Amino acid sequence: MVINPARNFMSTSDEVETDVGWRINPNRRPAFDVFSIITGNIQAAAFILLHELGHRTKSYEDNDDDGDPLAGAINNGKIHDACFRNLRRLRSNARLGMKS
């Protein structure tokens, strides 16, 4: 388990954006939409701990490697669905430098 203290875990920002899923969209290049949630910094730290606990408990099964951003988003989606369902998913392609 590795938590990068220079990133969102130690953020003091009022808003932290986290990718939580994606879907195929053949009308887009690249051909997918990415979705994110916005949390406060304390919620973001809790989210990160739960994400890493998912690795530790092998909850992600075959999708355990976050080296691919889409795999990380899928894993985050599991945390979102289980613990943060009250936070609405937002399409975040613009943040990723993709054209909407």
Q: Per-residue pLDDT tens for 34-93? A: 889 999 999 999 999 999 999 999 888 877 777 777 788 889 999 999 999 998 888 765
Q: Are strands 16-24 and 90-91 parallel, antiparallel or unpaired?
A: unpaired
Structure token digits, residue 63: 């999708």
- The pLDDT of 17-34, averaged and rounded, is 83
Structure token digits, residue 9: 């875990």
Whole-model pTM: value is 0.79
User: Considering just the CA atoms, what is the radius of gyration of the chain in Å?
Assistant: 13
- The pLDDT of 20-26, averaged and rounded, is 85
The answer to the question of residue 97 being in a domain is no
The answer to the question of residue 98 being in a domain is no
Q: Within a 10 A sphere around the Cβ of 19, how many other Cβ atoms?
A: 22
Number of structural domains, the chain? Answer: 1
The answer to the question of residue 61 being in a domain is yes
34 touches 71 (CB < 8 A): no
- Domain with 22, as residue range(s), is 8-91
Give yes or no for residue 95 having a pLDDT over 60.
no
The answer to the question of residue 96 being in a domain is no
